[in-house]
Protein backbone atom coordinates (compact mmCIF):
# COMPACT_ATOMS: atom_id res chain seq x y z
CA UNK A 1 0.00 0.00 0.00
CA UNK A 2 1.41 3.35 -1.01
CA UNK A 3 0.94 6.11 1.51
CA UNK A 4 1.16 9.87 0.99
CA UNK A 5 4.36 11.51 2.23
CA UNK A 6 4.60 12.70 5.82
CA UNK A 7 3.70 16.28 6.59
CA UNK A 8 6.57 18.76 6.62
CA UNK A 9 4.31 21.79 7.09
CA UNK A 10 0.70 22.40 8.07
CA UNK A 11 -1.40 21.99 4.91
CA UNK A 12 -3.76 24.78 3.90
CA UNK A 13 -6.73 22.41 4.30
CA UNK A 14 -6.11 22.09 8.04
CA UNK A 15 -8.10 24.76 9.82
CA UNK A 16 -8.78 22.99 13.12
CA UNK A 17 -7.40 20.14 15.21
CA UNK A 18 -10.00 17.59 13.99
CA UNK A 19 -8.74 18.10 10.42
CA UNK A 20 -5.59 16.20 11.39
CA UNK A 21 -7.66 13.01 11.72
CA UNK A 22 -8.23 12.91 7.97
CA UNK A 23 -4.52 13.21 7.29
CA UNK A 24 -3.64 10.62 9.93
CA UNK A 25 -6.18 8.13 8.58
CA UNK A 26 -4.70 8.47 5.08
CA UNK A 27 -1.13 7.97 6.28
CA UNK A 28 -1.32 5.33 8.98
CA UNK A 29 -1.59 1.59 8.67
CA UNK A 30 -5.31 0.73 9.06
CA UNK A 31 -4.65 -1.38 12.19
CA UNK A 32 -2.78 1.49 13.84
CA UNK A 33 -5.51 3.96 12.94
CA UNK A 34 -8.19 1.61 14.34
CA UNK A 35 -6.27 1.40 17.62
CA UNK A 36 -5.81 5.17 17.90
CA UNK A 37 -9.34 6.06 16.83
CA UNK A 38 -11.14 3.26 18.62
CA UNK A 39 -12.66 3.05 22.06
CA UNK A 40 -13.86 0.20 24.24
CA UNK A 41 -17.38 -0.88 25.10
CA UNK A 42 -19.99 1.82 24.83
CA UNK A 43 -17.31 4.46 24.10
CA UNK A 44 -18.48 6.63 27.02
CA UNK A 45 -14.98 7.71 28.05
CA UNK A 46 -14.13 8.58 24.44
CA UNK A 47 -17.27 10.71 24.25
CA UNK A 48 -16.51 12.37 27.60
CA UNK A 49 -12.99 13.17 26.39
CA UNK A 50 -14.34 14.80 23.22
CA UNK A 51 -16.89 16.76 25.24
CA UNK A 52 -14.19 17.95 27.65
CA UNK A 53 -12.07 19.23 24.73
CA UNK A 54 -15.13 20.94 23.24
CA UNK A 55 -15.70 22.83 26.51
CA UNK A 56 -12.26 24.44 26.28
CA UNK A 57 -12.26 27.94 24.88
CA UNK A 58 -9.43 30.09 23.62
CA UNK A 59 -9.79 33.78 24.31
CA UNK A 60 -8.16 36.05 21.76
CA UNK A 61 -6.60 39.21 23.05
CA UNK A 62 -6.06 42.39 21.10
CA UNK A 63 -2.56 43.77 21.34
CA UNK A 64 -2.02 47.45 22.03
CA UNK A 65 0.09 49.61 19.74
CA UNK A 66 3.56 49.74 21.32
CA UNK A 67 5.35 51.45 18.44
CA UNK A 68 6.37 54.37 20.66
CA UNK A 69 7.26 52.19 23.63
CA UNK A 70 10.25 52.90 25.85
CA UNK A 71 11.89 50.30 28.08
CA UNK A 72 14.05 52.82 29.95
CA UNK A 73 13.51 53.17 33.68
CA UNK A 74 14.67 55.26 36.56
CA UNK A 75 16.02 53.30 39.53
CA UNK A 76 17.25 55.01 42.68
CA UNK A 77 17.45 58.32 40.83
CA UNK A 78 19.53 56.94 37.94
CA UNK A 79 18.19 56.41 34.46
Nearest CA-CA partner of 36 in 16, 58, 21, 57: 21
- Cα-trace Rg, the chain: 23
How many angstroms separate the CA atoms of 79 and 74, rounded? 4
- Predicted pLDDT at 1: 60
**Domain map (residue ranges) of the chain:** 19-55
Nearest CA-CA partner of 2 in 26, 23, 22: 26
pTM: 0.49
Q: Distance of CA 14 to CAs 11, 20, 48, 66, Å? A: 6, 7, 24, 32
Mean pLDDT of 43-71: 86
Amino acid sequence: MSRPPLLTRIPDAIAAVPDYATYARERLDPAIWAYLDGAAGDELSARWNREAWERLRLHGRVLADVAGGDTALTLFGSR
